[in-house]
């Protein structure tokens, strides 16, 4: 059975004390790692501490972003090699908050994916439509364009290292248009299937079938099971519901019921 990815994106949350409290209460021995791959994405300053607290347990760590240059006068940025040196196996690229607040473009994200792959980092590519685009019926057109640009010149052989995260911007808790509801599993499934169709067009059916496509946007312990039942959804990217051990533990348990 293909593993399902459950990724905790802590964004700029959790200080040292709350990080220790989280792992003091988190029960790794209750997770069926044959079916689920757990990834934590802490702030850069807590990557090494998170790895230390994970210890010998079966979980990985992702950076929340990276810069494409290997080194230089880029105050506040972090390179792919610095992430791998700290022990990261994954990196999130193209998150909607990076796109909206920091004005990252699909072309910039394409460069970041290439650099990540060059340094053996597995990129988690986030993409999705905003509220206005959804209301105008442009979801599929937006997805198609973003996939084409973000994956430009990425070889088919490297796609086995890529995860795609569909995150409808309007469904993210912190978005001003958010109604407090995630996308429905059925609606998300339609987009995920469309993503696979586009991957097949850009590459081939084998790549499309094997690439993990996960959902992100107001995922919580109460709605996560619905997403797990969809044929083309291979996991979830979790924000707010991952900040406390009890909530994230329940979400992981509820993914397969």
- Residue 2, pLDDT score: 73
- Residue 3, pLDDT score: 83
Q: Under DSSP, is residue 99 helix (H, G, I), strand (E, B) or coil?
A: helix
Q: pLDDT, tens digit, for every residue of 36-72?
A: 999 999 999 999 999 999 999 999 999 999 999 999 9
- Residue 1, pLDDT score: 46
Q: Is 234 exposed, middle or buried (0-12, 13-18, 19+ CB in 10 A)?
A: buried
Phi, then psi, of 44 in degrees rounded to 5 = -50, -40
Q: Where are the domains of the chain?
A: 4-255
Which ranges of the chain have pLDDT less than 50? 1
- Residue 220, pLDDT score: 96
Cα separation, 151 vs 6, whole angstroms: 23
pTM, 2 dp: 0.96
What CATH number matches the domain at 4-255, 3.40.50.720, 3.20.20.70, 1.20.1630.10, 3.40.50.1370? 3.20.20.70
Task: Please list the active-site residues.
Answer: 95, 167
- Residue 150, pLDDT score: 98
The answer to whether 252 and 31 have CB atoms below 8 angstroms apart is: yes
End-to-end CA distance of the chain, in Å?
16
- Residue 176, pLDDT score: 54
Cα separation, 173 vs 23, whole angstroms: 24
């Amino acid at each position: 059975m293909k593993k399902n990815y459950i990724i905790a994106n802590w964004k700029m949350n959790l200080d040292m004390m709350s990080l220790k409290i989280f792992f003091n209460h988190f029960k790794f021995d209750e997770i069926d790692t044959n079916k689920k791959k757990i990834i934590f994405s802490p702030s850069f300053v807590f990557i090494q501490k998170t790895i230390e607290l994970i210890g010998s347990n079966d979980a990985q760590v992702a950076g929340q972003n990276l810069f494409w240059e290997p080194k230089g006068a880029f105050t506040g940025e972090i390179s792919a090699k610095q992430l791998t040196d700290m022990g990261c196996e994954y990196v999130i690229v193209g998150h909607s908050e990076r796109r909206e607040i920091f004005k990252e473009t699909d072309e910039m994200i394409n460069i970041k994916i290439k650099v990540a792959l060059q340094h053996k980092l597995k990129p988690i590519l986030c993409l999705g439509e905003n509220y206005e685009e959804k209301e105008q019926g442009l979801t599929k057109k937006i997805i198609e364009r973003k996939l084409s640009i973000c994956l430009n010149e990425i070889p088919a052989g490297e796609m086995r290292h890529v995860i795609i995260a569909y995150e409808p911007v309007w469904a993210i808790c912190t978005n001003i248009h958010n109604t407090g509801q995630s996308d429905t599993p059925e609606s998300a499934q339609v987009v995920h299937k469309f993503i696979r169709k586009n991957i097949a067009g850009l590459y081939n059916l084998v790549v499309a079938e094997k690439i993990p496509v996960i959902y992100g946007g107001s995922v919580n312990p109460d709605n996560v099971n619905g997403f797990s039942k969809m044929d083309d959804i291979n996991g979830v990217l979790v924000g707010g519901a991952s900040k406390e051990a009890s909530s994230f533990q329940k979400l992981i348990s509820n993914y397969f019921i």
